[in-house]
């Protein structure tokens, strides 16, 4: 699998008129890109891809691991600081265009690279070229094995939500809900939660990214729960809004609008639409109901090795939706001093339409 991915990078090298791509893993998303291309899961490594070679540089801590996990790469045993072995990995690239991930390399790292290269004889100095989303663009289209891996994470998340939602009662704190979800995930095969679980009871749910507090949940209030699972390098993301007690008319009204918006987007989204097109499918439903100003975030985002990745499904997104993309559809309405409702599922684009992958129950009312 990694060989085919590296070959796709080599096609991108030709397209972008590059002679190599240098992935520096300690920065931001690069560890994910490096794992995607090499299979290596250690926390520190550097990957150089050229038309005829793939070199993985890492230090003593990871030599054995790299040999086992990345047999398709030539191992460079990095000894000393970055500047000490950088000339070795760049050997033979004098005068060549070497791409690096502009969004993930710090100023300090870039400065060290430039200074180290300047010390080389002029004929041995490569030319550094910043790239943007070169690997991320490849990752947007999921392979069948990746879709299966995401589904496995989703299944654990669905079960965790269903288990905890039926047990929530007044007196539980928001932190208790978050802990019970994480506990279930870890006890039932998940590696971890994919992000800090969001729990917002009552008015706190009006914040889309509410953090869980020690505050006790009360009868007759809504609770927004946004959670996910990390499993074997892939992520899930799920949001449900429940009600402690019998939902009142206001909650039912807002919930039904959000649910209708989500179902409309799921049913009508098609391959070839932009992220903006998809977003507006749901936004128009909410706006026509009089709550357009209360839905302020994007409809969704890609999910894979990261819980937020391409494509962007939002009002300003020109990303084209294509078969094989996995993304969320998560409209919401947020009313200050009242609370919020958000419903989120992960879908995969297949045969030009969205197939829902998450199946946790919706409108779960705690039995109290």
Tell me the DSSP string of 232-275: TTEE--EEEEEEESS--HHHHHHHHHHHHHHHHHHHH-BTT-BH
CA distance 186 to 194: 11
pLDDT at 43: 86
Band (pLDDT 50/70/90 cuts) for residue 366 is very low
Helix (H) or strand (E) holding 156: helix 144-165
What confidence tier does 223 reach under pLDDT thresholds 50, 70, 90? very high
316-332 pLDDT, tens digit each: 999 999 999 999 999 99
Judged by DSSP in three states, 48 sits in strand
| Whether the Cβ atoms of residue 142 and residue 325 lie closer than 8 Å to each other | yes
Percent of the chain with pLDDT over 90: 94
pLDDT per residue over 252-301, tens digit each? 999 999 999 999 999 999 999 999 999 999 999 999 999 999 999 999 99
pLDDT at 1: 79
Which positions ≥6 away from 168 have C-beta within 8 Å?
A: 177, 217, 223, 242, 244, 366
* Helix, strand, or coil (residue 10): helix
* Distance of alpha carbon 171 from alpha carbon 182, whole angstroms: 19
154-168 pLDDT per residue, tens: 999 999 999 999 999
User: What's the chain's average pLDDT?
Assistant: 95
Tell me the whole-structure pTM to 2 decimals. Answer: 0.95
Whether 365 has a pLDDT exceeding 60, the answer reads no
Answer yes or no: is pLDDT of 34 > 60: yes
Do residues 181 and 154 lie in contact, with contact meaning Cβ atoms separated by under 8 Å? no
Contact (Cβ atoms closer than 8 angstroms) between residue 196 and residue 175:
no
Q: Which of 5-14, 30-39, 113-122, 213-222 bottoms out in mean pLDDT, i.e. has the lowest? A: 30-39
231, 190 Cβ separation under 8 angstroms:
yes
Confidence (pLDDT) at 217 = 97
Torsion of CA 104, 105, 106, 110, to 10 degrees: -170
Instruction: Give me the pLDDT at residue 368, please.
Output: 34
Burial class (CB in 10 A: 0-12, 13-18, 19+), 335: middle
Both tokens assigned to 307: 């819980």
pLDDT of residue 232: 96
Domains of the chain: 2-139 (3.40.350.10), 144-366 (3.90.230.10)
Q: What is the pLDDT of residue 363?
A: 81
pLDDT at 83: 92
Average pLDDT of the residues in 195-222 = 97
- Distance between CA 146 and CA 303 in Å, rounded? 11
| Average pLDDT, integer, range 87-94 | 97
Confidence of residue 367 (pLDDT cuts 50, 70, 90): very low
Print the SS3 string covering 57-102. Answer: EECHHHHHHHHHHCCCCEEEECCCCHHHHHHHHCCCCCCCEEEEEC
What's the rounded Cα separation, in Å, for the pair 222 and 220? 7
Question: b or e along 18-27 (b: 16 or more beta carbons within 10 Å of the residue's beta carbon)?
Answer: bbbbbbbbbb
Peptide bond into 311 cis (omega under 30): yes
- Quote the Cα angle for 264-313-24, to 5°: 150
Asked whether 73 and 55 are in contact (CB, 8 A), the reply is yes
pLDDT recorded at residue 364: 55
pLDDT tens per residue across span 171-188: 999 999 999 999 999 999
Residues of the chain with pLDDT > 70, as a percent, come to 97
């Amino acid at each position: 699998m990694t060989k085919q991915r590296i070959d796709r990078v080599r096609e991108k090298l030709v397209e972008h008129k590059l002679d190599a791509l240098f992935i520096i893993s300690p920065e931001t998303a690069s560890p994910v890109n490096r794992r995607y291309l090499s299979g290596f899961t250690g926390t520190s490594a550097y990957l150089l891809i050229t038309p005829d070679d793939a070199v993985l540089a890492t230090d003593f801590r990871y030599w054995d691991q790299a040999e086992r996990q990345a047999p398709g790469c030539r191992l460079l045993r990095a000894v000393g600081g970055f500047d000490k072995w950088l000339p070795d990995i760049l050997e033979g690239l004098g005068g060549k265009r070497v791409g690096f991930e502009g969004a993930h390399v710090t100023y300090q790292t870039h400065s060290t690279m430039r200074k180290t290269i300047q010390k080389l004889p002029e004929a041995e100095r490569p030319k550094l070229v910043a790239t943007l989303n070169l690997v991320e663009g490849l990752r947007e289209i999921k392979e069948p094995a990746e879709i299966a891996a995401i589904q496995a994470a989703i299944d654990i998340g669905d079960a965790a939500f269903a288990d905890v939602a039926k047990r929530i009662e007044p007196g539980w704190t928001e932190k208790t809900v978050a802990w019970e979800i994480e506990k279930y995930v870890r006890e039932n095969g998940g590696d971890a939660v994919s992000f800090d679980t969001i729990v917002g009871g009552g008015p706190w749910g009006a914040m889309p990214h509410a953090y869980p507090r020690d505050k006790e949940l009360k009868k007759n209030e809504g609770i927004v729960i946004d959670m996910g699972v990390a499993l074997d390098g892939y992520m899930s993301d799920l949001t449900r809004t429940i009600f402690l007690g019998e939902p009142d008319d206001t909650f039912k009204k807002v919930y039904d609008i959000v649910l209708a918006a989500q179902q409309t987007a799921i049913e009508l989204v098609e391959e070839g639409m932009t992220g903006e097109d998809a977003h507006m499918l749901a936004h128009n439903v909410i706006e026509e109901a009089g709550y357009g100003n209360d839905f302020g975030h994007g409809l969704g985002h890609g999910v894979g090795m990261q819980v937020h990745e391409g494509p962007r499904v939002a009002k300003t997104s020109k990303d084209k939706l294509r078969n094989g993309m996995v993304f969320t559809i998560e409209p919401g309405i947020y009313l200050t001093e009242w609370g919020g409702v958000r419903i989120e599922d992960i879908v995969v684009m297949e045969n030009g339409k969205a197939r829902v992958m998450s199946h946790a129950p919706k409108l779960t009312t705690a039995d109290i």
